Amino acid sequence: MIEPIICSEVLARAMRTGADFAEIFVSDKELFSLSMTRRAVDNAVSTRNRGVGVRILSGDNSIYAYGNDLSREGLLKLADAAAGAVTAATTAGHLDLVLRPSVTPNVHVYAQKPGTVPARKKADLLNEVYFAAADADEKIVQVDANYMDYRYNTLIANSEGLYTCDERYYTRIGVTAVASDGKENQSGYVAPGSLAGFEFYSGFEPAALGREAANDALLMLSARDCPGGKMPVVIGNGFGGVIFHEACGHSLEATSVAKGNSVFCGKLGQQIANPKLTAYDDGTLVNNWGSLNISDEGEKTQRITLIKDGILNSYMIDRLGSRRMKMPSTGSGRRQDYTYAPTSRMTNTYIGAGTDTFEEMIGGVDLGLYAAKMGGGSVNPATGEFNFAVKVGYMIRNGKIAEPVRGATLVGKGSEILMDIDMIGPDVLLAEGMCGSLSGSVPTRVGQPTIRVKQVTVGGRA
C-alpha cells in the first residue's frame, strides 16, 4: 500500500515538533451487503472505504489526523497537521527511522473468501433465512434480513520500526421477525457472524435462524408484561454474557482505568467477584468474530485472564493506556478503522465454566426471572451503572420455569452484580455483537455459561 521508505519519511515528519512516538495506520475495507424486506431484495451495496490515520504520542497525550489521500503529499499533510498540535519543550533533530517489514502470521482459516463466492449465492442464502421466518406463522407480519461480508486489510507502521500488514475476512447474517396480533407488535432477532469466509454458513442450517427469530417474536407476543422490582435472576448462556461485557468489561479497559474513571481502579489482586467466577478476554480464539492476529497497534493478540477465582487479575491495556498506567500493554488496542485512533477494547470476553446445574439454579428460586436471551445494553464506567434488555424471559415460580414475560430490563451496578453472582453452570457459549466506544464500533463476542444472580433490579411494566 505505502512503501516503507515513504512511511519512515512521514513518521519522522510527524515527530519533528517533539512527539516521542508516531504511527501510520491504513485500513482498506471492501464491503458487500444485501438487505431484504417485503419478500424481496431491496438493496445491494458495494462499498470500498480506504483511508489513513497518522497518530503521534507526546507523553500521555495523543494527536490523530486522518484522511483518504494515501499519496506521499497527502500523508505529509496529515503528519504536519498532527505535528502542529504538539508544543513540546524540546523539538527533535533529524530523525532517521528504519522500518523492518514483517509478515503477520495468520492463524485463521478462510476457505471461501467472499470475493470468490458469486453474489447470487449470497442472495440465495439470504432468501432461505428470510422465508423461513416470513412463512413460519401467519402472525409474522414483517421480516427484515440482511447479509454482509467484507475484506479488511491493514498496514501499520510506527517509529519503533514496525511495518506490517494483516488481512481479515468477516461475514454476518441477521434477521428480524415481527409478529402481530393486530393490536401489538413483538419482534425476534438473530444475527450470527464470524471472522471467516462463506464456509461459515455450511456449519448450520440457515433456515433455522429464520425460524428462531420468528419463534421468539411469537413467544413474546403471547407473553405478558414482566413485573418490576428486585428479584433473583437466572441469565442464559451465550449473549447473556453481555452482562459481564457491560457491567465489568468496560470498566476494566484502560480507557476507564487510566484516568481513574473506573470502580475497579487500584483493585488488582483484590476480590471483586464471587470466588466461583473466572473470566477471560481472548483475542486468539480461531475464527472467532472478535479475534485478531494482531491488535490495531500491531501487537500480538493475547488471552487475558481478567478475573481468577473472583480476584481481579488484569486490565485490558493499549499503548497509550500503558503509558498512562505505567503498566505493560496487553495488546488490547483496537479501532473501527482509520477514522479512529485506537484505544483499549475487548475481543472475545467471557465467563468461564462452573459446576452448578440449571436445575439447582432454577430450583432455588421462589419468585424470580429467567432471562433466557439477552438483548444489548450500556454502562457508565465511572459509576458502574448498567442497563440491559431481556429479549426472551420467563418468570420463575416456586422453583420452576413459569409463564413467558416481556419488556424486562436489568439495571444495577457492575461491582455489586459481580459479587452477587452465586451460581455458575458448565455450558459456556459465546455470541456475536458490535461494541461501540471511543474508537468506534468493533466486532466482539460476549459469552458465559448459565449463571444466577442473587438479586437484580428488574424494570418491567406490570
Partner 1 sequence: MEDIKCLYEQVSSILEAKGFHEYELYASQNEEFSVVVSNGQIERYNVNNGLGVNLRVKSGNRIGYASTTVLDADSCRALCQGAIANLDLINLAEEQFIFDGKNAVYEPLDSYSDELDEITAAEKCEIARKLERYTLEKDPRVVRVHTCCCLSGSVRVTICNSHGLELTRRNNYIGAYIIPVVADKDVMNTSIGYCISRKKLTDEQLRKAADSAVTKAIELCGAAPAPSKTCPVIFRPDAFVDLLSTFADVFSAENGQKKLSLLTRDKLGTVVAAPCFTLIDDPLDTTGVNSMAFDDEGVPCHRKELIRDGVLTTLLYNLKSAAVDGVDSTGNGVKRSYTSPVDTAPINLIVAPGQTDGDGLMKEAGSGLIVEELAGMHSGANPETGDFSLSAKGYLFENGAISRSVGNITISGNFYTLLKDIQAVGNDTVVSIDGIVSPSVLVRALALGGE
Q: Which is nearer to partner 1, 416 or 427 (CB)?
A: 416
The minimum distance between CB 141 and partner 1, in angstroms, equals 5
CA separation for the pair 163, 156 (Å, rounded): 6
**Under rule CB under 8 A, residue 46 binds partner 1:** yes
Q: Output Rg (C-alpha) for the chain, integer angstroms.
A: 24
Of 14, 15, 24, 63, the one binding partner 1 (CB under 8 A) is 63
Using CB under 8 A as the binding rule, the residues of this chain from 74 to 113 that contact partner 1 are: 81-82, 84-85
CA separation for the pair 231, 228 (Å, rounded): 9
Binding mask 256-295 for partner 1 (x = CB under 8 A): ---xxx----------------------------------
CA separation for the pair 277, 266 (Å, rounded): 20
Query: Which among 459, 420, 421, 428 is positioned nearest to 446, based on CA atoms?
Result: 428
Binding mask 337-376 for partner 1 (x = CB under 8 A): --x-x---------------------------------xx
| Contact yes or no for 88/22 (Cβ under 8 A) | no
Q: Which is nearer to partner 1, 132 or 148 (CB)?
A: 148
Q: How many CB atoms within 10 Å of residue 94?
A: 6
In this structure, the dihedral spanned by the alpha carbons of residues 413, 417, 420 and 426, taken in order and rounded to 10 degrees, is: 180
**Under rule CB under 8 A, residue 121 binds partner 1:** no
| CA 105 and chain centroid, separation | 23
Query: Which among 267, 318, 274 is positioned nearest to 296, based on CA atoms?
Result: 318
Of 13, 15, 23, 35, the one binding partner 1 (CB under 8 A) is 35
Of 229, 266, 275, 363, the one binding partner 1 (CB under 8 A) is 229
The minimum distance between CB 239 and partner 1, in angstroms, equals 11
Using CB under 8 A as the binding rule, the residues of this chain from 175 to 194 that contact partner 1 are: 176, 178, 180, 184-187
Q: Which stretch binds partner 1 (CB under 8 A): 269-277, 287-295, 360-368, 409-417?
A: 409-417
DSSP code for 105:
P
Q: Which is nearer to partner 1, 355 or 441 (CB)?
A: 441
**Under rule CB under 8 A, residue 45 binds partner 1:** yes
Q: Which is nearer to partner 1, 363 or 436 (CB)?
A: 436
**Under rule CB under 8 A, residue 389 binds partner 1:** yes
| Contact yes or no for 394/401 (Cβ under 8 A) | yes
- Grid coordinates belonging to 375: 438483548
Q: Which is nearer to partner 1, 228 or 399 (CB)?
A: 228
Q: Which is nearer to partner 1, 196 or 258 (CB)?
A: 258
**Under rule CB under 8 A, residue 2 binds partner 1:** no
Q: Which stretch binds partner 1 (CB under 8 A): 34-42, 103-111, 150-158, 279-287?
A: 34-42
Of 65, 162, 219, 235, the one binding partner 1 (CB under 8 A) is 65
**Under rule CB under 8 A, residue 459 binds partner 1:** yes
**Under rule CB under 8 A, residue 34 binds partner 1:** yes
How far, CA to CA in Å, does 34 sit from each of 47, 104, 119, 149, 173? 12, 31, 9, 9, 9
